[in-house]
Amino acid sequence: MRLVATVDIMNRDAQSVGFGTRSRIRPVCKGVVQIRNRAGGRRFLVISTRKDVTGDEYDVMNIQKLRTQFAHDGFATIEISRPPLNIMIRNCDPAELQLFITELKKCGKELAAGGGSIQPIAKDRLSAPLPEEKKSETTTTDDGSLRKNGGVFKRPRSPELSKSETAKLRKCLTTNMKIVSVKKRESYPKEFQSSLEQVKIMEVGLRKIDTRILKLKHLTLLDLSGNRLKSMEELAKFPSSSLQTLLLSNNEIDEISWNLFSGAAFQNLKRLDLSNNGLLGLPESIVDLENLKTADFSSNELLSLPYNLICMKNLQNLDVSYNSLAFLPATLVCLRLLKLDLSNNSELHMINNDFGTCFVGYSEIPTLFEKTCEAIMTLSRNRKFPVHILPKLTQEFMKGCKYCVGCNRMSWRYKISKFSVRASDLGNDVLHSPGIQTCVVKQVLCFDCDIKNVNPRVLVPV
């Protein structure tokens, strides 16, 4: 296992007599720490850097103590008995560090079981001589390392590496940290590297989204579940459209602005989890998430779903269980969902077919503005017309346009019909409450289709 981290190696004896930073045997730098097997069953701790890929090598049997009390923050110290060194590791992924420490302890136990020992070895003298000692002095310690030239000792060298191993190490050293995972408030990072691709901050009591996260241009996954967020409006400020997974479950979000998902920040979003919040409804702009494949809105207080869900062409999995839905949009059948969960919506499963109809905008002759809005909405669905560049008044008016299942156009004047259908007709794998096989849907026909008595035959009433 390889651990990429910032490595600082200090002479422990020189530190104890007040040498401070002068006891550092080399500059602090980024390195790869790993465990390697050698002949005779021996195992060594190898530290490689960009300037020295071959690296330094320390026998695991010479480890006298592991200080891991701050491992959850990405900090750890490995004490070597001979030479007396402290290898300080920091700025690494806490989860990877925990795995590395576990592996290192396992190696020590296996070697001890085979006759080895990782107990401290008595100190004889400083591995790095003090300045008052002769600078020309050159001695050899029991472990074969040299001390010479005013306190600089020759570091244990690792055998030559093959070209493939060298290439892998160089790749690790030139790759920046990409994942941050935080599960405790104490381990919250002081800064976020610009190269981060995944940020997971769970159950730490966040009340507001950290604005530093919004500056990460390469972020693909953001998990803020289990916090106390009440708003997600700040997410519209993302500088790029790289975000693909957004997990905000188990928060306190009860409202989303109507145009939040119309921005460029969510263009490539593929998974959205807003379960276990207090949402009463979803914004119409959610239909602009054309690349969304999985959506989870379970355990909220949703009363209805946006009718124009047909615009979400790539949607495959939809979970709206444990809500208060009274009806579903008929356009769901056009999506051909792979999985649809409708369970525990008590008002959704009604068998009565006599719901009647209602008309919107039938009493007046449509204006040129209304017909223009209908045309723009149709273009935005078929050709990705940039609706967000239009005036806000026009955008708000266009929210009233509905998708006609008869002519496949957006219309502002339409007739709404409600009736019961078989739940199995809405998708390939539909989950519903036991013993209930039907659900209520809402279907929209534009003025022209209603006059022509067009029968869309999208769903058959039962």
139 CB neighbour count, 10 Å cutoff? 12
Handedness of CA 232, 233, 237, 242 (dihedral sign): positive
Q: Please tell me which residue, 430 or 163, carries the higher pLDDT value.
A: 430
Rounded to an integer, the average pLDDT of 338-344 is: 90
The CATH architecture that domain 179-324 belongs to is: Alpha-Beta Horseshoe (3.80)
pLDDT at 276: 94
* 123 pLDDT higher than 70: no
> What does pTM read for this prediction?
0.60
Radius of gyration of the chain (CA): 32
* 420 pLDDT higher than 70: yes
**pLDDT band, residue 418 (cuts 50/70/90):** confident
DSSP 452: T
Nearest to 49 by CA among 94, 99, 5, 90: 5
Rounded to an integer, the average pLDDT of 349-360 is: 54
The torsion of the CA quartet 313, 314, 320, 326, rounded to 10 degrees, works out to 10
* 181 pLDDT higher than 50: yes
**pLDDT band, residue 152 (cuts 50/70/90):** very low
Neighbour-count burial for 189-224, b at 16+ CB within 10 Å, e otherwise = beebeeebbbbbbbebebeebeeebbebeebbbbbb
> Beta strands 328-329 and 317-319: pairing type?
unpaired
**pLDDT band, residue 159 (cuts 50/70/90):** low
Class of domain 2-173: mainly beta
Select the highest-mean-pLDDT range: 224-228, 379-383, 434-438, 443-447: 224-228
Domain range list for the chain: 2-173, 179-324, 328-462
Give the pair of three-digit tokens for residue 29: 């730098």
Alpha carbons 20 and 11: distance in angstroms, whole number = 9
Q: What is the pLDDT of residues 231-259, one digit of tens each?
A: 998 998 888 788 999 999 999 999 998 88
Q: Please tell me which residue, 113 or 441, carries the higher pLDDT value.
A: 441
